[in-house]
Amino acid sequence: MTYRDLGASIGRYISASPSQRFPVYTRGNAGEVYPEVFYPLSYSLAGPQGEQAMRNAVARSGLMSADELVEGDPDGDVSMALGVFGGYAYLNLSLNRVIALRVPGGKLDELDRGLLGNADVVPPHVAHADDTDRKASAKSLGFIFKTINAKDVLHLEADKREVELFVAERGDPADATDASLLETLIGFTDLGLHLFESHLFTSMQASTAVTTLGRLCDDALGDPDVAMQLLAGIGDVESAAPAGALFRLGKLAASTPSVDAAFDGGLEGLEERLSADPKAKGFLAAFEGFLAEFGSRGPNEWEIACDTWGTDHSMPLALIDRMRGAAVDHNPAVQQERLAAERTEIVANAREGMGFGRRKLFDRVLRSATMFSQARERSKTTVVRSIQVNRLAALELGRRIAARSDAAPDDIWFVVGDELEAFIDDPAPFAEVIAERRRSRDELAKRVPPFTFVGQIPPPETWPLRADHRAETVVAGAELTGVSGCPGKAVGTARVVLDPSEPGDLGPGDVLIAPLTDPSWTPLFVPVEAVVVDVGAQMSHAVIVSRELGIPCVVSVTDATLRIPDGATIEVDGSAGTVTVLSLP
């Protein structure tokens, strides 16, 4: 793990060495998974494993050899696939572009749009003599063939069972010894590496199947966007499941007078009021069931230092509050029935347009794209579930250390794995280094990292401050362009939400305007008419969930949260990928 001097005002913080062979990095995609600055503990436990998992997944596909994925010292800190620079997560775009070039018929603009949404915001690819590789291209055909002919993803069910056993064996962290909690944290390496590699390889299969479906629709129907319609309402998408559960809790709360009144009294002290109300027992039992199933979800859920729904109940309670007034026809179960019927018709029309000779191939590719789209979200859920075990172990250790010393409960996030044992024994010697790392992280969090960089990331001191980041507010009649996420049109009142745990008055008749989305945002999709997101691409979370809920969605609308005033009336055209401002507040 490398700490580098990032400048006098920043200090030293986590920053890896970039690859010289694959020099272009981007926050696209990576910024949705890790939107904030990494904490030292989580990076030390997961960062190197994440890099290795990505290398393993790429090598498994045959699109690159293991040797191509090592640069310099094999044990060094060069990030070939996934890197943290200036504390922020980046994806190696150059490497992914070379992979795309090695697939017969691969197109760079197709890859850029799929990963980033807006392909115009990144540097052009600079060709290298080793970009093409006949052997790798031949292997890519085998990878595609295996993907579109795969019959099941039973290995993911085995992964899920392994994680459930892992959770059960650890039990309640409050009952564990310090040594046992430490072992949980530092002993997670092998399981974490396996789970993340499985997720990344499944994601590659999903991307391959969806891309193949798009090309088939383009060739046969003249419209690659039909592929996205074919993947709407496929069901069994685990990242969308919390939305249905929270909708049911919202309606249960609204139908129980005393519970409804408790929510009307505001979120502050809500859980205490509910606990004191005998008539709220049914709701609380259902809420406990929800936490048992979905407690590992939340904002920035891959970062163990961040709260989830299970560690901060105010977050899901805020979402349930918004669900109370959601229209009945926005019930995810009702939407799923509607979408399933529409999808049946779209599939039938597509098959008819394919012609007899292509229908068999179309059926196989559609089945693969559907299965792996579901599998991608399933594997992600499994990883997040395992991360929660580490989060709870670290939280318990942090509380114990603070109770017997002058350390703060959150000091634990600023030590690294090989410091943990000494920190648990005596935190005092770490006070100075923790203070330095905390200050550095705070300074980095105040700045906007570059969306892309080539070769070396610019010094963080040159990054713009978030407080100074401005965008010109739109005028009535303006049309903003993004990337089509889910088709359909809707008109509503723009509600700019920057934190899913603080949704304000978001509800029926509104359009959610968000900076980015992860599963913690999913429930906010339910009561609204449409969703607009600053960033994202066609495989991003916002798109996947909006398709499952059947609401218009446009992503990659640059600075939408800054340019669209809260309260403006807007029209969202999810088919065209546009947002039109009809009137200002």
What's the pLDDT at 355? Answer: 84
What's the pLDDT at 269? Answer: 96
The count of domains in the chain is: 3
Q: Is residue 289 situated within a structural domain?
A: yes
Question: How far is residue 201's CA from residue 209's CA, in Å, rounded to a whole number?
Answer: 12
**Same domain flag for 449 and 519:** no
Q: Is residue 560 situated within a structural domain?
A: yes
**Same domain flag for 1 and 46:** yes
Q: Which of the listed residues 469, 499, 524 is the one where a domain comes to its end?
A: 469
Per-residue pLDDT of the chain (585 residues; tens, 9 = 90+): 688 888 888 989 999 999 999 999 999 888 888 999 999 999 999 888 889 999 999 999 999 999 999 998 777 788 899 899 999 999 999 999 999 999 988 888 878 877 777 656 788 899 999 999 999 999 999 999 999 999 999 999 999 999 999 999 999 999 999 999 999 999 888 899 999 999 999 999 999 999 999 999 999 999 887 888 898 889 888 888 999 999 999 999 999 999 999 999 999 999 999 999 999 999 999 999 999 999 999 988 999 999 999 999 999 999 999 999 998 888 998 888 888 898 999 999 999 999 888 999 999 999 999 999 999 999 999 999 999 999 999 999 999 999 999 999 999 999 999 999 999 999 999 999 999 999 999 999 999 999 999 999 999 999 999 988 888 889 999 999 998 888 899 999 999 999 888 898 898 999 999 998 877 788 899 999 999 999 888 778 788 888 888 899 999 898 999 999 999 999 999 989 999 999 999
Q: Is residue 531 situated within a structural domain?
A: yes
**Same domain flag for 301 and 443:** no
Reading the block at residue 206, the tokens are: 């999903």
Q: Is residue 121 situated within a structural domain?
A: yes
Q: Which of the listed residues 404, 436, 469 is the one where a domain comes to its end?
A: 469
**Same domain flag for 28 and 123:** yes
**Same domain flag for 574 and 460:** no
Whole-model pTM: value is 0.92
**Same domain flag for 304 and 435:** no
**Same domain flag for 453 and 540:** no
Contact 549, 490 (CB under 8 A): no
What's the pLDDT at 510? Answer: 95
Choose among 500, 92, 50: nearest CA to 303. 50
> How would you classify the pairing of strands 17-18 and 78-79?
parallel
**Same domain flag for 307 and 262:** yes
Q: Is residue 388 situated within a structural domain?
A: no
**Same domain flag for 456 and 562:** no
**Same domain flag for 451 and 528:** no
CATH code, domain with 572: 3.50.30.10
Instruction: Enumerate residues 6+ apart whose C-beta is below 8 A from 513.
Output: 494, 495, 496, 497, 532, 533, 560, 561, 564, 566
Q: Is residue 366 situated within a structural domain?
A: no
Q: Is residue 383 situated within a structural domain?
A: no
**Same domain flag for 463 and 540:** no
**Rounded alpha-carbon distances, angstroms, from residue 64 to 52, 71, 133, 150, 232:** 14, 13, 9, 22, 32
Q: Which of the listed residues 271, 303, 333 is the one where a domain comes to its end?
A: 333
SS (H, E, C) 53-107: HHHHHHHHHCCCCCHHHCCCCCCCCEECCEEEECCEEEEEHHHHHHHHHHCCCCC
**Same domain flag for 258 and 300:** yes
Give residue 434's domain range.
1-148+426-469
With b meaning 16 or more CB within 10 Å and e meaning fewer, what string describes 81-106?
bbbbbbbbbbbbbbbbbbbbbbbeeb
With both helix axes pointing from N to C terminus, report the angle between 189-221 and 332-354 in degrees, rounded to the nearest 10: 50
Burial (0-12, 13-18, 19+ Cβ within 10 Å), 475: exposed
Q: Is residue 194 situated within a structural domain?
A: no
Contact 419, 427 (CB under 8 A): no
What's the pLDDT at 470? Answer: 80
